[in-house]
Chains A and B, each alone.
Chain A
């Protein structure tokens, strides 16, 4: 298993009758990276995840997860990959410990070791004091943390999460993202699907944008900004002086795509962070620089911009 990819798909396709849920998906995940699947509901994210786990059979194409084929070696895959479904459920009339013991038994973890792991994991996710309480009384956030403990119980190499932060309050979501970073530091490869973009942006090394079963964009957030926003950096300058020469000077900078101004406020769209160059240009054009600020590209903008463009094309 000297495969350098943790997850690799080639032309992965899933059809339900005439409807193509996932269309020729090519996806690769490196060891230890956090990958975000983005896209509107019904774009094929969950179907992709289920195929990676061998819980749904693919129509055609090739998948390898940790060097195993999920369709033919599902037990090997499922023993190494943790899955946190979007709507996580537990047996409400069993306690937190009993719920986890059942999962430990299904994974064939010896009883004594399971007990130790469960104790340390429940402590890690902050559920130590409710170990013997029935899960029925747990809040959504507690369930989610119990879910994380459950996923970590089998000591996975890969964790796949479907909409993990959906329905969490901001504080719980923040804690959850911190947990994801922690897992990444332990060398676990993580794939998560979400449509809460700022959260994805906060933890993902790379993202893939799904639309109608296809992965239409893929790469690190900054690269996507380059592609979609034609830049993505927005500089805001406040300059006193003649607007026309300043605007010309700014436009002449390399990597600037657009300059607009209202009074003494200039907005510059650029492909990279041009603060220093813009300041110099404004001063050389005889202006007095009063303020300078930059907006880094946000995934929200990329997402909105991309889907607007796509709609224009289709319209």
Chain B
């Protein structure tokens, strides 16, 4: 009878507080401001969790996997590039995007390896503490829950950043060695923005796995749920978007407007998938010649020099929505996780 675990009892340490102007405590139980900074202890959590990540076997396996992928694909790309004689101002970016049978390009590997790393980093973040029975002990220390959750997220995020930056530098280094020429300024900026996009693409999956680790008590369930969502977006979302577009905007008489409307709706829907956003951002950044992701009518192309690269600022403008979308997705999922965690009862 006592084993009730109501979802909606609000723990007292949930809302970041302001300093109260009245130290008197005679008011009935309320949700008025609480004292002290919600960030107390944040760095202790971040450093501890990051140390855990970096020394874990799980992380080592993933690192080996991704380093092998990077080395393999870049080597293949260099082989291809060496045989090309035509002049290309963005040779360096080709390192990331050139595929050579049977290997796909490095970026295609990244688009499904990054979610995997991200999920592996956080699927047991909260429920792991719960199952080890360390949660109540840690929360009995003078910190707020905010610090614990934020610390866990930041630790994973920094670990992801560290790993991706290392790989990014590795590829550039291999490129300089293998191709014998340094990247130019614009290439560096484009490649760096691509790194940022990749990190936030990972951030979405980090936050998603964190949500599941808060909702599900079993880490295995959380991992499976995260992977299910990932597979859904990678494999099925494109199909779903097409089908929904066909239902909502059916082609009845075959007018060009109808075709266009349906295709645009399908594209809009597809952009709800972080994969679509990431692939578009990657295209815009690493293929300077890409000038639009939408549908271009022949009339709009009048006077355009097809194949000529866009200047850097125009490319950035093109992929700006995608980048903000990725960042927003990360923040939204984290906010959801935060709300869920604050409402959770900590007793077993």
Contact = CB atoms under 8 A, between A and B. Distances in A.
Interface stretch (A41-49, A118-126, A229-237): A41-49
A308 interface: no
A87 B14 CA distance: 24
Contact of B345 (A56, A83, A150): A56
Nearest to A14: B9
Contact of A21 (B2, B12, B41): B2
Given A50-B347, A90-B132, A91-B134, A78 B29 contact: no
Interface in A83-101: 83, 85, 87-93
A259 interface: no
B34 A59 contact: no
Given A41-B2, A55-B12, A57-B29, A72 B140 contact: no
A73 B19 CA distance: 10
A71 B12 CA distance: 5
A107 B141 contact: yes
A103 interface: yes
A57 B142 contact: no
Given A16-B6, A19-B4, A89-B137, A75 B11 contact: no
A16 B345 CA distance: 11
A142 B133 CA distance: 16
Contacts of B141: 78, 103, 106-107, 154
Given A73-B34, A78-B142, A91-B134, A56 B12 contact: yes
A147 B347 CA distance: 17
Contacts of B138: 103, 106
B26 A62 contact: yes
A46 B4 CA distance: 13
A221 interface: no
A70 B36 CA distance: 12
B104 to A, nearest CB: 36
Nearest to A64: B25
B144 interface: yes
B26 A105 contact: no
Interface residues of A, number: 53
A17 interface: yes
Interface residues of B, number: 47
A242 interface: no
A89 B130 CA distance: 9
A70 to B, nearest CB: 7
Contact of A73 (B1, B9, B36, B47): B36
A70 B12 contact: yes
A56 B11 CA distance: 4
Contacts of B133: 85, 87-89
Interface of A: 16-17, 19, 21, 41-44, 46-47, 50, 53-62, 64, 68-76, 78-79, 81-83, 85, 87-93, 102-103, 105-108, 147, 150, 154
25 contacts: A16-B4, A19-B2, A41-B2, A42-B3, A44-B2, A47-B347, A55-B136, A56-B11, A57-B9, A57-B10, A57-B12, A57-B14, A57-B29, A62-B25, A68-B25, A71-B30, A72-B34, A74-B144, A75-B144, A78-B140, A81-B140, A83-B137, A85-B136, A105-B47, A108-B41
The 8 A-B pairs at the shortest CB distance, nearest first, are namely A42-B2, A89-B133, A105-B44, A75-B36, A83-B140, A69-B25, A79-B142, A71-B12
